[in-house]
A and B are shown apart, each in its own frame.
Chain A
Amino acid sequence: MSGWIKVCALDEIAPQGSRVVASSQGDIALFRTADDRVFGLHDKCPHKGGPLSQGIVHGETVTCPLHGFKIGLKDGEAVAPDKGCARRFEVKLEAGTVWLQLN
């Protein structure tokens, strides 16, 4: 497993917004919640591959822009009645900088 990689400053992600990170493991969506926590998910909806990064962030959830699956940011799990899971990536926030771990 590789170590932590520096991504960007927290300020570069809007509150309740997201950014896309291109990586060797495909696009990763980084989400920032209203209370400044950051989460990372594979940028592909378990439904039909929609770009989760483009969804609306609310609470600890993002709603996929294509057909409205709600995906939990913490675990990548779809909220019932939908089923499916988007891969999670470890993210940490240190002194205003966002770090990511590829797995």
Chain B
Amino acid sequence: MKKQKLVVVGNGMAGIRAVEELLKLAPDLYDITVFGAEPHGNYNRILLSPVLAGEMTINDIILNPLGWYADNGVRLHVGKTVTKIDRTARKVIAADGTEEEYDRLLLATGSTPFMLPVPGNDLPGVISYRDIKDTDEMIATAATHKHAVVIGGGLLGLEAANGLKLRGMDVTVVHLMPWLMERQLDRAAADMLKTSLEARGLKFLLEKQTEALIRGESGRVAALRFKPAPGDDPGGGLEIPADLVVMAAGIRPNTALAESARIYCNRGIVVNDTMQTYDPRIYAVGECVAHRGIAYGLVAPLFEQAKVCANHLANFGIARYTGSVTSTKLKVTGIDLFSCGNFMGGQNGKGGTDEILLHDPSGGVYKKLVVKNDVLVGAVLYGDTADGAWYFQLVKEGQNIHQIRDHLMFGQNHVGDVGHAGVSKAAAMADDAQVCGCNGVCKGDIVKAIKSQGLFTLEDVRKHTKASSSCGSCTGLVEQILASTVGGAYTPSESKDKPMCGCTDHSHGVVRQTIRERHLLTIPDAMHYMEWKTPSGCPSCRPALNYYLISTWPGEAKDDPQSRFINERAHANIQKDGTYSVIPRMWGGLTTPAELRTIADVAEKYEVPTVKMTGGARIDLLGIKKEDLPKVWADLGAAGMVSGHAYGKSIRTVKTCVGAEHCRFGTQRSMDMGVKLERMLFGMGAPHKVKLAVSGCPRNCAEAGIKDIGVIGVDSGYELYVAGNGGIKTEVAAFLCKVKSDEEVMEYSGAFLQLYREEGFYLERTCHYVARVGLDHVKAAVVNDPLKRKDLYERLLFALQDYEDPWQAAVAKPAVRREYEVIKLEEVTA
């Protein structure tokens, strides 16, 4: 079949991103031709600021070198401006006469800088700040001239001013409004910003309107004259010297080409939620577009648009762009500034907003959070922006923050979740400082990858550098590095609808739901129905799918051992030297002389090199060869011992203290309670591991406060706590309710765990699950609704009813035992 023709006008960030997304989805659908007015491959426009500041070079910011186009079969007309679209003949015509026919056309013409309509605005030395040419001219002028004036105190103007200052010019910023960056900052933050920029030698003239640019003897601009303020004598406006005038007073969507072809424009090229213009063959993305009346001037929304547009160009027809909440970061090294959402709060919006404020003028920190109906709607941070990405995510997700409201201001590491406890600010870190302890990745490696590969998201960084791809505890720090390297272009991943992994576009939530609604029972069926992009998944989605299937359809879906991590497949923990460790279960931490004797015998018989008490109060036999595992288990099984599941995403330990059985303070029989719980939960699989503890009194010697479920005996019964965690990031468990009897402890705990089993995402511990759904949601099902609780509890007992000890199963079944046998080769020696 003949390929269709796609022509792209605009070789910039949005257009090429759309092409890249399209190539991922449908590499062979189109013959693609790109027109670009600039004489370069696509480059990272936002990094022109660091180039001007001398922190990077043009080579560092190229995203798609010319070779990329050739490698991907994309024809590029570089340096050619399209001047006409013939919609009847379906072709575009460039200024030099080049013509290309199209079946579909994508307009990504960006925007044009707004040049103030004042006399002298066409003099040599008066420029905008938009592309490589402008940047080169600024760098050259800085080497030969002294006085620069930047008109416009917004993001772009300040970055231009900072760069010119660093290049040795004397720089004045002229701004019409009473404070800087009025579209991104409130006055308090803007005043702090102004003070610190003044300390760097920049000068500011606020509330000043330019009247004319004045020509010097050389023919180029030499001075700038202001309109006289009311009260000054007419004609007596202030004049300042200016060898270079940079207009950074705003941008206008570049709609000239579209308008000349009579495509409907209103502020920008008007598109619908599929990025289609009024001509169904013509799509548009980027700064040239007006979507639902908004023209965006930052890259994050453009990338979202590009993705949606690609989806439709590829004929998938399911994505919709519904608008973006944007955030801003000023890329001036050494100045931390962040804002997002509706940050003006009460000052302009009277609509019931509250402001939470922290202002430390001498410490140089200002933070404002705007909250409406318990939802964070905006934030301004100055001086300490470490939590910017987190606030931005809360704003975008519209999460209810009622429960964390009182410590919201203190940032993510106060609230929990994997954060950046105790780390220095990303921007201040040295390049050789290690960021990811698991994979040995330093800050410099990450920054280099971000710049050289053009990375914008956490997922990208994980893929290219491995940073934060293992335990995840450095995620917050990696996000900070991303944010400080790419500025506002950083797209925080939205946990709610982030794809599970590279094999699918669906999130954990959607996959879980689809498995339930469609009654899917096998991994191949699930992958087929949800159009997996890889033939057999990857080590991150397969275990998740396996868990979702067996937890949703117990008794129906069959476990797939090949989709489990080796520890769960071999029922033991793999060690760094390839041997395994064996931890038999000790119910509630109790053991007997006979058990201990058996353990000792096994250790001797199989020459176990290390015997150790674990942090979970039981005994670990470390360094056993895989072939010996079934024999070890047979010996342990003969003495009645079963698997401790120290390897599983499953119930681990139930720690207990001695309790009322022995202790003089004990109020409840905690050992007994712990053993009952552990026996009930034996073999329970879960999204992640599950640990319990039962203490006999509030002295809490079993450390119930950091367990997935903590039970604390009190005189009148038990207090139940949930969602604690003692691991990567310590999390104190939350009080769930008080109950009276042992039976109630079992029922409430069982119901809570079943809810988590049914709703938790794979690898989400209870603390993360509860942080996502909210404790109120848990209480509604487990505490307040007895029917629901009983149902949940019964479903748990049903799922666990026929569970067989995996060790004894392996001992008994030859087919399973094969997993542990090594094939000895009969080599013929010639």
Binding site for B on A (CB under 8 A): 2-3, 5-8, 12, 14-17, 19-24, 27, 30, 33-35, 48-51, 54-59, 63, 65-68, 81-82, 100, 102
Contact = CB atoms under 8 A, between A and B. Distances in A.
Contacts of B465: 81
Label chain A's interface by main secondary structure.
loop
B539 A21 contact: no
A56 B539 contact: yes
Interface stretch (B79-87, B558-566, B662-670): B558-566
Sorting the interface of chain B by its residue count into under 10, 10 to 19, 20 to 34 or 35 or more gives: 35 or more
A66 B580 CA distance: 12
Given A56-B539, A58-B536, A81-B466, A66 B574 contact: yes
Contacts of A50: 576, 578
B563 A66 contact: no
B152 interface: no
A5 B825 CA distance: 8
B557 to A, nearest CB: 17
A16 B536 contact: yes
Contact of B574 (A2, A16, A19, A54): A54
A55 B566 contact: yes
Interface in B408-456: 438-439
Interface stretch (B5-13, B774-782, B816-824): B816-824
A63 B539 contact: yes
A88 to B, nearest CB: 17
Given A51-B578, A66-B576, A68-B539, A56 B823 contact: no
A72 B178 CA distance: 61
A57 B543 CA distance: 12
B825 A23 contact: yes
B563 A23 contact: no
B530 to A, nearest CB: 16
A58 B542 contact: yes
Nearest to B469: A68
B823 A21 contact: yes
A34 B539 contact: no
Contacts of B535: 34-35, 59
Nearest to B830: A2
Contact of A56 (B463, B563, B830): B563
The 3 A-B pairs with the shortest beta carbon distances in the complex, nearest first, are: A16-B562, A54-B566, A51-B578
Interface in B791-830: 818-819, 822-828, 830
A2 B536 contact: no
Contacts of A102: 827
A102 B566 CA distance: 27
B828 A17 contact: no
B294 interface: no
Contacts of A82: 466
Nearest to A1: B830
A102 to B, nearest CB: 7
B438 to A, nearest CB: 8
B537 interface: yes
A19 B822 CA distance: 7
A34 B566 CA distance: 18
B648 to A, nearest CB: 15
Given A65-B566, A81-B465, A58 B539 contact: yes
A50 to B, nearest CB: 7
Given A12-B818, A22-B825, A65-B574, A58 B565 contact: no
B538 interface: yes
Given A22-B824, A54-B566, A100-B825, 20 more contacts: A2-B830, A5-B825, A14-B561, A20-B822, A21-B825, A22-B823, A50-B578, A51-B578, A54-B574, A55-B539, A56-B542, A56-B566, A57-B536, A58-B539, A58-B542, A59-B534, A67-B439, A68-B470, A68-B539, A81-B465
Contacts of A17: 561-562, 819
Contact of B562 (A5, A56, A63): A56
Contacts of A30: 823
Contact of B828 (A5, A27, A35, A58): A5
B822 A22 contact: yes
Interface string B253-290: 00000000000000000000000000000000000000
Contacts of B542: 56, 58
B673 interface: no
Nearest to A6: B826
15 contacts: A5-B827, A6-B826, A7-B823, A19-B818, A20-B822, A20-B823, A23-B827, A27-B822, A33-B536, A54-B566, A54-B578, A55-B566, A58-B542, A67-B470, A81-B463
Interface in B505-541: 534-539
A63 to B, nearest CB: 4
B570 interface: yes
Interface string B461-482: 0011110011000000000000
A71 B261 CA distance: 53
Nearest to A63: B539
A34 B538 CA distance: 13
Contacts of B469: 68
A28 to B, nearest CB: 8
Given A50-B578, A54-B574, A56-B563, A24 B539 contact: no
A42 to B, nearest CB: 13
Contacts of B466: 81-82
A2 B825 contact: no
Contacts of A100: 825
A21 B830 contact: no
Nearest to B577: A49
Nearest to A19: B823
A16 B825 CA distance: 22
Interface string B725-758: 0000000000000000000000000000000000
A46 to B, nearest CB: 15
A70 to B, nearest CB: 8
Contacts of B822: 19-22, 27
Interface string B560-586: 011111110010001011100000000
A76 B648 CA distance: 29
Contacts of B539: 55-56, 58, 63, 68
A23 B538 CA distance: 30
A69 B827 CA distance: 31
A100 B828 CA distance: 12
A58 B538 contact: yes
Nearest to B439: A67
A12 B822 CA distance: 11
A51 B820 CA distance: 13
A58 to B, nearest CB: 5
B823 A15 contact: no
A66 B463 CA distance: 18
A81 B574 contact: no
Nearest to A7: B823
A6 B822 CA distance: 15
Contacts of B827: 2, 5, 23-24, 102
A26 B537 CA distance: 30
Contacts of B567: 65
A97 B781 CA distance: 55
A19 B578 CA distance: 14
A67 to B, nearest CB: 7
A12 B574 CA distance: 23
A58 B537 contact: yes
Interface string B213-242: 000000000000000000000000000000
